[in-house]
Amino acid sequence: MEIGQIRSRWNDVLDALESNNRVAWIAYFDARLISFENGVITLDFSDSRKFATSHEYSQTRPNLKAALIASIDQVLGLKVEIREQ
């Protein structure tokens, strides 16, 4: 699968994430997909950091990331890792 294919279904991934874990959805809904290489999806949060607060849920980030990974698998059938920048 290529990044364009993931982008075309990203709203479906976010919809599944919102259904399963609304807090995770809040953390990831404005992340931009940067790349998909070797099973790693890179997300960028620079746009969200331009506003009053960023989505830095550091204490709960591992659980939120796991929820996103599960939603990606559910919608796209991909086993991925997530890298954030």
Q: Give the range among 18-22, 31-35, 56-60 with minimum mean pLDDT.
A: 56-60
Judged against a pLDDT cut of 80, whether residue 48 lies above it is answered with no
- Strand partners of residue 81: 40
Look at residue 2 in the predicted model and tell me its pLDDT: 95
Which pLDDT tens digit goes with each residue over 14-23? 999 999 999 9
Domain residue extents for the chain: 3-84
Residue 64 in contact with residue 21, Cβ under 8 Å? yes
The pair phi, psi for residue 46, each rounded to 5°, is: -60, -35
The whole-number average pLDDT for the span 21-41 is 94
pLDDT band at 62 (very low <50, low <70, confident <90, very high): confident
Distance CA 7, CA 50 (A): 22
User: Please, which residues have CB within 8 angstroms of residue 62's CB and are 6 or more apart in sequence?
Assistant: none
Structural contact between residues 16 and 71, judged by C-beta atoms closer than 8 angstroms: yes
Looking at the DSSP bridge assignments, the partners of residue 37 are: 40
* Per-residue pLDDT at 54: 53
CATH code 3.30.300 for 3-84: yes
